[in-house]
Amino acid sequence: MKRNESWWIAIYLPCACAFGLLFMCVFFQVAGYWLSGGEDFIVLIKENTPLYLKMAGVGFVLGFVLWFFNIR
């Protein structure tokens, strides 16, 4: 971390990584379910909510690690 680096990036980067992983996880799971013939994907989303929350948590940790070690 640089001395003159602003602190907003410490919040932005983890949140952006969490949102990105959450979006990818939900989108690709629903797309695969729909393409394989599934009809009611709302039930699929409700059943897999803990998985989505875990992926968002992993994204937050990943973003923090990327910020901490100044990887861009």
Number of other CB atoms surrounding residue 47 within 10 Å: 9
Domain count, the chain: 1
User: How far is the first Cα of the chain from the last one, in angstroms, to the nearest whole number?
Assistant: 11
- Give pLDDT tens digits for 19-61: 999 999 999 999 999 999 988 999 999 999 999 999 999 999 9
User: Is 41 contained in some domain?
Assistant: yes
Asked, for residue 3, whether it belongs to a domain, the answer is: no
**Domain containing 17: what range?**
8-68
2 located within any domain: no
pTM of the predicted model as reported, rounded to 2 decimal places:
0.84
d(CA 8, CA 45): 32
